[in-house]
Amino acid sequence: MSEPGGAARSSRDFYAELIKGSQSAAAGFLAERERWLRSVEVEGREELLFEFEMLLRGVERYFNLNNLPLDASRPVVTRSFHEELVDVRDAIDQAIRLARQLLDQDSDQKLVFRKYVESRLADDRARRELVDAGLDQASPQESLFVLRQSFDALRTIIDHLLRLPVCPFSLFGDVGNLALRDVVSNRYFRPFRPLEFRIEYDRIKSVPVLEALSRLTEADRRLFTVAFLACFRVLHCLSYVGAEDEAPPERRCRVVLALARSEAVTLAGYLTQELALKAKAKRHKVAALKVARDLTRESSRIAKKLAEQLDDEEQALLAAAVDLTALFRKQLGVLATAIDPQLAGEDLFARLVSRADLAVRLRRDLWVLAALCRDAEATLRRPEAEGADLALAAVRRYLGYFYETSYQLLRYGDYEAVDRFAAILLEHAQAPAGPVARARLAEDCRMFSQLAETTFAAVNRRRDLNQKRFDPAEVRALLAGFRNLPTFQVKSLPGRST
């Protein structure tokens, strides 16, 4: 168990530093983007942003012929890329729709009006000032609007190009250059580079994997965390292929599959050139090389099979997505077994990502967190704050434990409240001396305990927990371990009865 004072920092800082280290060149813009995202009042905002940036990255990768399922026997210069342009057009069209959803109505109307004024000005000097102001992308809203406008124009160009009888490779490549310029010049929504991660949606939502990673040395943990994050992200992307069970796959699904193939190649290179070389344990090296070999061989086989079966495009796309999903799930299992040999057996992936197990763990840990915060509040309100130092130390220790696993299982929107409360606690190595300061800290504990209870109730209502009863004995044991008390009366919290 971590020492008080540093308890709430270790695991959180590890993931924060790893993710920020992968995107250090844009750290300032990304911090502002995080603040913007928290202000977006749209249901599923993180998922919308993930799909948006996935499509941006997919469009960028789709113009690399190595990622396309092309017939190797036919020279590139003799074929038409008409169908590939249709794929790109559909991906861009969906990206425009997502951008509209992410832009709040007021900002969108203001930016549209400014664009209208710009087009009506006769004075080129005044017009140029408005153009420059828009291209400066001073805020995430402006940045998103600029990208949307650029994609609107590119979609119009592609619509006209699709009327041509043939689309040669040179024309296809030039469209790619225009798309790439729009994407990489965007200040706030430049999509993730290979092995670059976003705290908003890149998560390892697996209790066994998170626990196994926390037992590794710092260096090995970093190496394997990158590999797991990359695998989970590819699986996330593949979930968009054939997402509508009754409808045929959209044309943009070919863009997503090209992105998945590209990510597979990148991950194989990382496993070979980074993990296998830097890992200390022999079984870690062997597993990294095996996964790299299988990813390279199987992704190429799946792409070749897709190229051969594109006459039956609907079934071919679904089959390729199923094969790639099975491939990455299997490799996740191999990596999990490498870091913890006890993680083995049939249907390993399903056990690693069990939603029921995830919800059970999160429900239990949120309950204990709420109980410890109520303890701290009660002691802080006593005369002379008797026992407050011990109660606060217990909460700090528990936050260190909570950050190791359950924190990663929360929704992104819950992070800010947990981090803010942890920062408040870390400012107080001991209970404040003055009654006013103690009352203020007690109120912070009360408000956070209510938040933890509300989150507990939300988790407890998940359908995954219909057959999973709340276990008071397990909670007593965990709570007593942090309280250093032998027994404790478990009280009820909002949610399903126990």
| pLDDT tens digit sequence for 119-137 | 555 555 655 555 555 556 6
370 pLDDT exceeds 50?
yes
Predicted pLDDT at 351: 93
Q: How would DSSP label each residue in 53-95?
A: HHHHHHHHHHTSGGGS---TTS-GGGS--HHHHHHHHHHHHHH
pLDDT tens digits, 58-104:
999 999 999 988 877 778 888 899 999 999 999 999 999 999 999 87
Q: Any idea what the Cα angle at residue 468 is, between residues 466 and 470, rounded to 5°?
A: 115
Token pair listed for 241: 């292929």
- As a whole number, mean pLDDT of residues 377-391 equals 88
CA distance linking residue 76 with residue 80, whole number of Å: 8
How far is residue 258's CA from residue 180's CA, in Å, rounded to a whole number? 16
Least confident of 157-166, 416-425, 453-462, 478-487: 478-487
Q: Alpha-carbon distance 186 to 174, whole Å? A: 19
Summarize the chain as % helix, strand, coil (round to 5).
Answer: 75, 0, 25
Output the pLDDT for position 111. Answer: 52
- Indicate whether 21 pLDDT > 60: yes
Please tell me the predicted confidence (pLDDT) of residue 27.
58
**Number of other CB atoms surrounding residue 365 within 10 Å:** 24
Residues 6+ apart with CB under 8 A from 462: 355, 359
Average pLDDT over residues 434-450: 93
User: 11: pLDDT confidence band, cut at 50, 70 and 90?
Assistant: low
pLDDT averaged over every residue in the chain: 84
Task: Please give the pLDDT value at position 498.
Answer: 35
User: At residue 366, what is the residue type?
Assistant: L
* pLDDT at position 26 over 70: no
Taking 60 as the threshold, does the pLDDT of residue 160 lie above it?
Answer: yes
For position 55, what pLDDT does the model report? 95
Task: Please enumerate, as own/partner, the contacts of 235-239 that have beta carbons within 8 Å and a separation of 24 or more.
Answer: 235/325, 235/328, 235/329, 235/332, 236/50, 236/54, 236/201, 237/54, 237/58, 237/263, 238/321, 238/324, 238/325, 238/328
**Which range (68-82, 140-154, 423-437) has the least confidence?**
68-82
CA 65 centroid distance within chain: 27
What's the confidence (pLDDT) of residue 74? 76
Tell whether the model's pLDDT for residue 460 goes beyond 70.
Answer: yes
- What pLDDT shows up at residue 104? 72
Which residue, 262, 270, 259, is CA-closest to 228? 270
Query: For residue 196, is pLDDT > 70?
Result: yes
Q: Is the pLDDT of residue 25 over 60?
A: no
Reported as a single tens digit per residue, the pLDDT across 293-351 is: 999 999 999 998 888 887 677 788 889 999 999 999 999 999 999 999 999 988 899 99
Least-confidence region, from 9-23, 72-86, 383-397: 9-23
Decide: 179 and 59 in contact? Cβ < 8 Å. yes
pLDDT band at 261 (very low <50, low <70, confident <90, very high): very high
| Model confidence pLDDT, tens digit, residues 202-223 | 889 899 999 999 899 989 999 9
Per-residue confidence band for 489, with pLDDT thresholds at 50, 70 and 90: very low
